[in-house]
Every structure is written in structure tokens, then in C-alpha cells.
Structure 1
Amino acid sequence: MAGQDESASQRVSQDELFFDPQELGADGAPTGVEAEQVSEDADRITTPFDPESISIETQSTTVDLLLSRLREGMIDLAPDFQRRAGIWSDVQQSRLIESLLLRIPVASLYMAQQANDDWSVVDGIQRLTSIARFVEPDVVGMTPLTLRGLDYLEQFHGRGYQDLTGRLRIRLRETQLVVHIIKHGTPEAVKFNVFSRINTGGLPLTRQEIRHAMIPGPARGVLAELAESPAFGDATCYSVSSERMADREMVLRFLAFRLQPPADYRTYDFDQFLADAMHRINGLAEAQRAELEREFRQAMGSAEAIFGEQAFRKLRHGQIRKSPINKALFEAVAVNLAELDQADRNRLVASRHEVVEGFRDLMNDWDFERSISVATGDPAKVRRRFEELRKLYRGVLEHA
């Protein structure tokens, strides 16, 4: 009995060494996705650019002018942002309106200018939506906001915009807001770098939130649909949080490497690689996008059938605890499955025990482990992880 206790203790102790930290959401809760260790240069602008092409314009505009742009469809609010966790409560929205009525300055808005002079809101969606919901709710297709939970203007509790005096309505519409606009023509890598430094109430924007805001088009819908699909949920055990778009980034990584083979990946700017993929998805014909979606769902189904609840997670010999989802593994496991035909995928499912044991062995390879853990956008590491998974699948198929 003592020997058994000691063995169990050793196993648990060893398992603790395998624990991989997770990314955290807005509320500090784990997202279900392993935190990546990035290189020191990850947030630096590494691609040469002409400083003269950078143009960031700061405007002092009014609430009325912003509402006018909204009415004309010239501001893209990326409305599916509003469905995610973290949307402001009625009290938070009311207190913003209270601040405007009291002429208390509020945080600046950040926009990315599109080619047609439309603006995409990168930071300030909740603020702008709250204002529109109170003053012109039809513009954002929401129920009118009734003020509540006010700190100073308690006499306006329960009132809407139409209940204000004419003087207060004019004051609200003429309130000036500061808008920083990164003009069209500024290199996208520079835009991304600028927006990645913006804090929303102390919470940095995630890279996928920035891409989502900066790049409107069909890609948004494709990523949302696949991230919310049962195929993705089942394969990941519904453990990936949608709050900070971690799920959509994973889908985008798959699509990016289906559109550009890993062997051809050469850039050191992985964020730009993913942004380029969103542009490419936007440019595809509907039938091409449908084919990519079909491949994604098939890969998810095969991954679940082969790896079960360990799909896309680090799995080592002697490991007991289930690791969080690893984004780099997600790419390599799923894209390599998508490259196979259905017959070969079925053969891998039938030989799943050999695949899993081969994967455990692979996790003992230090170079492979580094390729899915540290600076995963490095071209050599990208090629390494994809090639090793390809060899694993091919080796099992040859002996099946």
C-alpha cells in the first residue's frame, strides 16, 4: 500500500510539471487556451515601411456628427461584438450618458479608415453604442436606453432621451468627443501595432479583436459560424472561451494554413499573416468559402475521433491532468488531417491508439515541443510542427 501511495504521489508530482498556463479572459478566468510564450520582438514593427505613409489624424467631433455617420452606414460597429460577454450593463451605459451631461471628458475613440472613408471602430464600440442607444436607438437596432444607477443626476432616473429638456438634448448632441483615426494607406502592420497598445479600461485588446475590427467583410461571418459550430465545440470539449475571440483566432489559423501551405510560410510577422488570411477569405467566391468550411468540419470530426478529449492538447507519457488547448497544435493537427482524403482519415481513426502513442513520443522531442510553445510564428518552428505531424500520420497509415 505504501508503495502504491508513493507511486501515485510521484505521478501527481510529475503531472504538475506538465501543467501549462492558460490565457485569461476579461474577468480573469481561464479561456481554455494555453498561453503562448512570445519572443521579445513580437510587438515590434519588423517590416520596413515608409514613415511618410503613416498618418494618424486626431479629430474633435460631436455626438451629432458621429450619429450622422452611423445613420449613413459610414461607421462599422462590428455588431457581433455586442453579442460577446462583457457588454456594458444598462447602469454602465447610463453612467456614460451622465458623464456627457455633466461635461466630464470620456476616453477617446480609435478608428481605422477604410478605402471609401468609412470608419471601423477598433476601440470605443461600447461607448458609441451606448450613446446611440440612448439618443437614436433605431440606428443600432436596440431597445431605447432608460437611465438608471446614476451617481449625481438622480432626478433623471428612469428617463429616456425624449424626457430630457430641449437644452439638455442639444448639450448631449453637441458634446465633443476625441477620435483618433488611422488613415487609409498606413501600413496594416503599423495599424496593428498601434491598436495592440490601446487599453480598454485597462484591458488590452486581443490580436483577434483588432483584426476583427480592422478587416470587415465575409471573413467575420465565416469565423463566427465555424467557431460556434458543434464540430468545433465537440472537438475542443467546448472549453475554448469566445469572450476575447480566442475561438475565432483558432479557426482563422486553420483557414490561413489551408490557403497558404505551411511549407511556403516565410514571414516572421504571424499577426500580419493572419490578417492577410482574412483579406484572402474576403476575396474568395462563396463556393470556395463553403469548401473551406466543409474541410474544417471534417478535420474537427476526425481529430475528435482520433484524440478524443485530448485533441489539440499536449499529451505526454505519464501525464494525468488534461492540458489546455494549444493553438499551434490545433493548426498542425487539424490542417494535416484536412490534407488527407476521407479514406485515410478513417484509417487513422481505426488506428487511433497508434496515433496517440506516436504523439506522446513526439512530445518528448524538445525541438517539437518548443515549436508549439515558444515564438510559434517563427517560420522554422511552423514548418517543424507541421512536418512532424505529417510524418506521424503517414507513418501510421503505412503500417495500417
Structure 2
Amino acid sequence: MALEDLSGTDLPEEAIDEASPPDDALTTEDLDQVVLYTVDWSVQSILERIGDSFNINPTFQRRDAWTISKKSAFIESLMLGLPVPQIVVAEDRRRGRFIVLDGKQRLVTLKQFAAPDDNFPTFKLRGMRFASELEGLTFEQMQTSLTGGEFADSFLSQPIRTVVVRNWGKPAVLYEVFIRLNQNSLPLSPQELRQALYPNAFTRWINDRSSESEPLHRARRTSTADFRMRDAEMLLRYVAWVTRFKVYRGNLRQFLDDTCEEGGSAWESQGADHFEKIASTCETGIDRTFEIFGDDAFLRYDGEKYNRRFNIAVFDLMAVALGDTNLSDEAVSANRDAIRAKFEELCAEDEDFRKSITATTKSVTAVSERFLTWARAVEEIAGVDLRITADVEALTSDN
């Protein structure tokens, strides 16, 4: 059974909803089927399985959340036999693997330090509090040194307690567990869980493409890939809205999950070029939004000023409408002031539009309202037809 990995200053986020909230459809019966058991794997055992039965995805290297000092402290704890946090995984018998719900960074650190390769470069221990004689050493140097060999042996034999979730039934159960694991710590993006649940060429592309996208990072006011994968979720949302809006039914988590699954199937028939064109239109929409709004891009207007918190609903609207291939750069430049003024007018004077920007995505009406109102406004100003308008109208006619 394989084990798959999961788990700069930016603008604070004005969250109107969570992309993967607790699923209201879950019942106690769903949770009653879940079985938990524990197993203690030694560090040596884990290292021997990585790359074989354990699959730690090297793309997560670009989203490394821990500093060298934090990694070194974790390694030192293992060498000294001090307690370390447990790892929580979900057993997926259908695919013969484990999905990591909590502990990805610890597993990546083990791989980097004790079994490095081209994808997982090693590091030298830094900031050692007790084993100061190991300061500045790699694991290989430790093993060959007089003082480090004993520490290396202790490290390899140290057990790591792992909680295994079995019989979880459906992904919604794992999302519930995932959220509860993280609600008292740094909030993590459920996109990490989504990547593990739907491992295919499309989700790998979402991860890689977003990590390299300067416009996506600029939108979030960061300079590098976000270790919580918020940039990946932004790109995924964009792909979902522009390709599958007509099938949205008010469950954003399921909508994005299905997009990952269908994207994997479409990848085989349409290839990377198809999705690369979509990503390019997303980046065009971001660039045009900055051209129009400057430092106020992707912020909500309250009638007097822009709220200084990134708003994901505004991002969706701007990227989708302004990235439309029917809208030319010339039309954007010529109507820049009018487009900005219209957005401020809608936020200040259109109560339905203003509420729709802060409403939960569980409301199909609110989601449709905000997309349709903004798309029609841009159409009227620029004198073009936007593709999203027909998709939203098709959705509303079915409901």
C-alpha cells in the first residue's frame, strides 16, 4: 500500500466561504463506519518504503513550509528520543496507498535529511539545542563521524506513531477529518487533500503550473508558490468556472473535486495544450485586473474605500470576465476607467450584487448573480459577448 503526501507576506484573505467546508450531507452513520488503528513505523522503515510503497510527491518540494531550523529541531527530537507529533493517514485500498491527512512536512523532512536525491536535496542541521556537536552536518557526515554515528543509529530506530483511518467510505469524511485536524492550528488549504484524492496528470499540472505563475502570485501579493496551495486552488477554481459552470449545484468542494477527476480524463484526450490555454486566459484576466484597478485589484469595494483583504469571489469574477478571449487588450485599455467605475457603482448601489460577493457559495443564486451581473456590465461597456454569460444563463434556466 503506497503512502501519498498531502498535507513572502501576502494580503490577509477575506474569506466568504471555505472551498471545502464540512459537508452538511454527512451523517453519524457515515462516521460510524470509520475504523481507527495505530501502527509504529521506525524512521528506517519509512525511509526504506519511500519511493517504493510510500509515494512522497516531489512537486511538494516547491511548497516547502518548514525552515531549516524547524526541520533540524524535528530531526534532533527523533535522535534524542523525544516525542514528536503523530502522523495521520487514510487507508485507500482501492488504489493501494495511504493518503496523508497530517504529517506531510515531517515525511518530506525525513526524506530530505536521510535519503536525499535529485528531487529531495539534503540540508545541514542548524540551530541544534542539545546535540551541538552535530551542527552543520548532513546525515551522511553524521554517519561517518565519531560522535554522530550513535545519534544516526538512534534516529533510524526511532518509532513514529501513525494513526490509520480505515473504512472512510467517501471523500467528504476525509475532508471532515482534515478540517478538524487543522482547526486549532495554522489553517491549511484543502487543496492538499484534493491533490491526494485525485492523483492524475491534471492535478499535477494544477500544482506545477500555479507554483510557477507570477500573475497568480502577484494576485495574492506573494513572490513564490504558496505552501498552503492557495494559488493552486485559485487556478483550479478558474478552470472549473470557465469549463463547468453549467453543472454547478451549490457544493463548491464537490464541484472542484469533480473538476479534478474530469480534468484527469480530459487530459488523456485533449492534452496539456488545452489546459495551458485556459491557464493563459486566467493570467490575462489577472494582468488586466491590475491594469484597471492597480493596488486595489481583487479587493472588495465597500462604497467608500477598498477593503484591504484579498477577496476570492472578486478574484473569480475579474479573472473569468476580463480573461475572456472575446475581450481585446485594446477594449480593456480604452474602457479601463469605465470598468473600474462600474464595479464601484455595483458594490455601492446594487444591494443584490454587494450581497452576492459576500454570500456563501452554497447559494447557486448568489454565485450566478455575481457572475452574471459583472459579466453583463463588462459586455455593455466593451461591446462584446463574454462566454461566461451563456454558461450562467444555462445554469439559471435549469434551476
TM band (smaller chain): 0.7 to 0.9
Q: CA deviation at 1:385?
A: 0.8
Instruction: Deviation per CA, 1:115-152: give whole Å up to 9, x if none.
Output: 43233434223322333333322386322x54443333
User: Compared with structure 1, are the counterparts of its residues 341 and 56 closer, same or farther at alpha carbon in structure 2 (3 Å cutoff)?
Assistant: farther
User: Compared with structure 1, are the counterparts of its residues 193 and 346 closer, same or farther at alpha carbon in structure 2 (3 Å cutoff)?
Assistant: farther
Q: CA deviation at 1:382?
A: 1.0
Residue 394 of structure 2 is matched in structure 1 by none
Q: Contact conserved, 2:356 with 2:366, CA < 8 A, in 1?
A: yes
Residue 210 of structure 1 is matched in structure 2 by 193
2:285 to 299, 313, 332: 299
User: Compared with structure 1, are the counterparts of its residues 79 and 33 closer, same or farther at alpha carbon in structure 2 (3 Å cutoff)?
Assistant: farther
Q: CA deviation at 1:361?
A: 1.3
Q: CA deviation at 1:241?
A: 7.7
The reply to whether residue 359 of structure 1 matches residue 343 of structure 2 is: yes
Letter in 1 for 2:43: V
Q: Contact conserved, 1:368 with 1:385, CA < 8 A, in 2?
A: yes
Paired with 1:205 and 1:273, the residues of 2 have a C-alpha distance of 19
User: Compared with structure 1, are the counterparts of its residues 98 and 201 closer, same or farther at alpha carbon in structure 2 (3 Å cutoff)?
Assistant: farther
Task: Output the TM-score relative to the length of structure 1.
Answer: 0.76
Residue 249 of structure 1 is matched in structure 2 by 233
Residue 111 of structure 1 is matched in structure 2 by 89
Residue 32 of structure 1 is matched in structure 2 by 11
1:136 to 103, 115, 134: 115
User: Compared with structure 1, are the counterparts of its residues 88 and 121 closer, same or farther at alpha carbon in structure 2 (3 Å cutoff)?
Assistant: farther
Instruction: Deviation per CA, 1:376-397: give whole Å up to 9, x if none.
Output: 4432221111111122123224
Residue 25 of structure 2 is matched in structure 1 by 46
3-state SS of 2:39 partner? strand
User: Compared with structure 1, are the counterparts of its residues 274 and 317 closer, same or farther at alpha carbon in structure 2 (3 Å cutoff)?
Assistant: same
Q: CA deviation at 1:229?
A: 2.3
1:100 to 51, 59, 78: 78
Paired with 1:239 and 1:257, the residues of 2 have a C-alpha distance of 25
The reply to whether residue 176 of structure 1 matches residue 154 of structure 2 is: no
Residue 313 of structure 2 is matched in structure 1 by 328
User: Compared with structure 1, are the counterparts of its residues 323 and 58 closer, same or farther at alpha carbon in structure 2 (3 Å cutoff)?
Assistant: same
3-state SS of 1:244 partner? coil
Residue 341 of structure 1 is matched in structure 2 by 326
Residue 390 of structure 1 is matched in structure 2 by 375
2:50 to 52, 70, 73: 70
Unpaired runs of 5+ residues, structure 2, are 1-7, 386-399
Paired with 2:212 and 2:72, the residues of 1 have a C-alpha distance of 31
3-state SS of 2:226 partner? coil
The reply to whether residue 278 of structure 1 matches residue 278 of structure 2 is: no
Q: CA deviation at 1:176?
A: 1.6
Residue 393 of structure 2 is matched in structure 1 by none
The percentage of counterpart residues that share the same residue type is 25
Instruction: State the aligned residue count.
Output: 364
Q: CA deviation at 1:203?
A: 2.1
Letter in 1 for 2:204: R
Residue 123 of structure 1 is matched in structure 2 by 102
Paired with 1:201 and 1:156, the residues of 2 have a C-alpha distance of 34
3-state SS of 2:309 partner? coil
Letter in 2 for 1:160: M
The reply to whether residue 60 of structure 1 matches residue 43 of structure 2 is: no
Q: Contact conserved, 1:348 with 1:396, CA < 8 A, in 2?
A: no
3-state SS of 1:133 partner? helix
Letter in 1 for 2:206: V
Letter in 2 for 1:375: T
User: Compared with structure 1, are the counterparts of its residues 104 and 258 closer, same or farther at alpha carbon in structure 2 (3 Å cutoff)?
Assistant: same
Question: Once structures 1 and 2 are overlaid, which stretch shifts more, 50-59 or 356-365?
Answer: 50-59
The reply to whether residue 83 of structure 1 matches residue 66 of structure 2 is: no
Q: CA deviation at 1:369?
A: 1.8
Q: CA deviation at 1:70?
A: 0.3
Paired with 1:156 and 1:307, the residues of 2 have a C-alpha distance of 52
Paired with 1:118 and 1:309, the residues of 2 have a C-alpha distance of 45
Paired with 2:112 and 2:60, the residues of 1 have a C-alpha distance of 15
Residue 314 of structure 1 is matched in structure 2 by 300
Residue 187 of structure 1 is matched in structure 2 by 170
Q: CA deviation at 1:236?
A: 6.2
Aligned 1:159-174 pairs, distance under 5 A:
160-163=142-145, 169-174=152-157
